[in-house]
Structure 1
Amino acid sequence: MADKRLVAVEIDEDTLSSSGPDAEHERRVAIFDLIEENSFGVRDDDRGPYVLHLSMMERKLVFDIRLEDQTKVHMFILSISPFRGIIRDYFMICENYYSAIKTQSPHQIEAIDMARRGIHNEGSNLLAERLENKIDVDFDTSRRLFTLICALHAGQTRAPT
């Protein structure tokens, strides 16, 4: 039986370069968490495990899925447009959360964190819907992939012009 999981994620630095050490750290952590535990299967493919190559083409995220020996399995392009509002809201509430840690009561911090998790879940659900009929993922993997997309987006939006 095939191993339905990711064993590596590779980022194309030419199209998805990070904007500095903080953005690079966020990416490494997101990739580590994703690789550590995931359920990832390509629809109508029973080989696996997989390596995910991510790049950007015309402001869209390219998922190039391969086997460990680099045999191409499937490639598709994911529009980031439907995620922009959720990602913006997620970054804003994360900033509020980090500010609240310094000055707010535990109850207020918990309320902000619940809102942060809710927005993250919204993005994760949208991602699972967009991956439907292409990639089979469980909810936790969808959450980890959404975290990685946010980390990639943070590196792009904060890059110097």
Structure 2
Amino acid sequence: MADKAKFRLCDVSLDESIGRATPDIEHERAVAIFDLIEENSFEPVGHEGGPYKLKLSLVDSKLVFTITLEDDTPVATHILSLTPFRRIVKDYFMICESYYDAIRSSTPSQIEAIDMGRRGIHNEGSQTLKDRLEGKIAIDFDTARRLFTLVCVLHWRG
């Protein structure tokens, strides 16, 4: 990956037509977007550089990446099937519920074990996203992790 100043996201938004979610989910979204903009590596294959704006949306059960330059000049739109993510997102939601339940009533070692599982599933989803974007958008693993969080938020809201 090339020049960090040129190949990065400067803005990330989620399709607002999905509607608002619970305060906890909205907080997760805001933190993921903040972290993503703070530090990311984002290189649309074959493009000379940004920085870029990214809009994530769900259309007909597909994940849509709409990429523009800072001045809203279109760069690319990539559409990914959500099928490879369905099991991972479902498992991630289930383990997150277990994690939040455990925080209220379990021992620190039980919470840590559940959290390790949660992180493992999150890593699996992040790698799947990175793999699905290969040849379209070059991203590092940390960027993939933050984007996967947003994919999950879209599912929570959608």
Which residue does 1:128 correspond to in 2? Answer: 130
The question of whether the paired residues in 1 share the 8 Å contact of 2:58 and 2:64 is answered with yes
Shift of the alpha carbon at 1:7? 0.5
* CA RMSD, 1 decimal: 1.4
Distance in 2, matches of 1:114 and 1:20, equals 25
Distance in 2, matches of 1:125 and 1:58, equals 23
Unaligned runs of 5+ in 1: 157-161
Which residue does 1:62 correspond to in 2? Answer: 64
Which residue does 2:149 correspond to in 1? Answer: 147
Which residue does 1:137 correspond to in 2? Answer: 139
Which residue does 1:86 correspond to in 2? Answer: 88
Relative to the length of structure 1, the TM-score reads: 0.90
Identity %: 61
Distance in 2, matches of 1:133 and 1:27, equals 27
After the TM superposition, which of the residue ranges 134-143 and 104-113 deviates more from structure 2? 104-113
Which residue does 1:52 correspond to in 2? Answer: 54
The question of whether the paired residues in 2 share the 8 Å contact of 1:34 and 1:144 is answered with yes
Which residue does 1:159 correspond to in 2? Answer: none
Distance in 1, matches of 2:154 and 2:50, equals 25
Unaligned runs of 5+ in 2: none
Relative to the length of structure 2, the TM-score reads: 0.92
Residue type at the aligned position of 2:102: A
Aligned length: 155
